[in-house]
Amino acid sequence: MAHPLVSGLTIARLGRARKRVVQIAAIHGACNSAFAAWCGAGMTGRFSMNRSWMVALAAMLPGLALAQPAPAGETLLHLSADGSVQAAPDQLVADLVAQNTSSSAADAQRRVNALIAQGMQAAHAVSGIDARAVGYQVSPADEKRTQWLAQQTLELRGADGPALLDLANRLQQLGFVTASLDWRLSPSLRRKAYAEATTAALKALQEQAASAAATLGLHVDHLKDVQLQPRMDGVLRPMMTMAARAGAPAPQATAAPEEVAAQVSAEVVLRP
């Protein structure tokens, strides 16, 4: 004969197991009812939340909540932290615009095409300069459509600042308009800086978690649901106005450090 205490525990466990089976059966029945209600609504050509569907949904929610109880003795802490690094730009980027106004749209386009071809030829002759033509536009210059404006941008990129500035100056003499000129981070350098900023943010998050746990008299067990994202509140660089035309002084650009930032968030599980 089993000990009375053991028998009592066994009966209690069987009772809990029986209750769990009943809950699972209820959830299963509720799912079937909900699905049947949905199919019935679909066959009539519209989906309406009728009384039977709402009853089935109401039956499902308590069962689902009971199926995932929170672990005992855990304290859940939601934290976020920022990290940033300073990086020196390694690439000069210039946008130069070829534009022409004419009574004929075709004539305006022909002149812009010729100027872009000259610009591409001059850029390809300079080692280390990447050039591409982007943003072609043709539009009326007045309401009566007696004049047409055609324009296209020649984008120049390079690590050799003096060489690119000299090229931009020569292109201005040909008739290009300097729209913007600025030092920027190359894609590879930006990725590296973002990785460093993310590491700094994670360390800050760990310090926050340890400090909060100590204050509460607990310890950090583990992190979960860690999310990483860049912080897009960096310095906005002003664009130059389209006034640097032929005959203007040679363009200048000074490199300045750029901040690259990252943000992390996580759920921190604390235990006694």
Mean pLDDT across the chain, nearest whole number? 79
pLDDT in tens, 53-104: 444 444 544 444 443 454 678 999 999 999 999 999 999 999 999 999 999 9
162 and 100 in a common domain: yes
Spatial distance between the Cα atoms of 194 and 87, rounded to a whole number of angstroms: 10
242-257 pLDDT, tens digit per residue, is: 444 545 677 888 889 9
96, 173: one domain: yes
Dist CA 237 CA 248 (whole Å): 22
Tell me, what's the pLDDT at 17?
A: 46
The pLDDT score that the predictor gives to residue 41 is 45
Whole-structure pTM over 0.75, yes or no?
Answer: no
CB atoms within 10 A of CB 15: 10
How many domains, in total, are found in the chain?
Answer: 3
Nearby residues of 63 by Cβ (< 8 Å), 6 or more positions away:
23, 24, 26, 27, 30
Identify whether residues 115 and 162 lie together within a single domain: yes
- In a shared domain, residues 82 and 213: yes
Quote the percentage of the chain above a pLDDT of 90: 63
Looking at the structure, tell me whether residues 23 and 96 fall in a common domain. Answer: no
Range of the domain at 41: 4-69
DSSP letter for 208, please. Answer: H
Spatial separation of the C-alpha atoms in residues 140 and 28, rounded to whole Å: 66
Domain check: are 111 and 149 in the same one?
yes
Q: Are residues 100 and 161 in the same domain?
A: yes
In this prediction, residue 103 carries a pLDDT of 96
Of 174, 192, 180, the closest CA to residue 242 belongs to 180
Q: Would you state the structure tokens that stand for residue 140, as one six-digit string?
A: 């009326």
Give the residues of the chain that fall short of pLDDT 50.
Answer: 1-15, 17, 21-22, 24, 31, 34-35, 37-39, 41-51, 53-58, 60-68, 70, 233-244, 246
| CA atoms 191, 192, 197, 200: torsion sign | positive
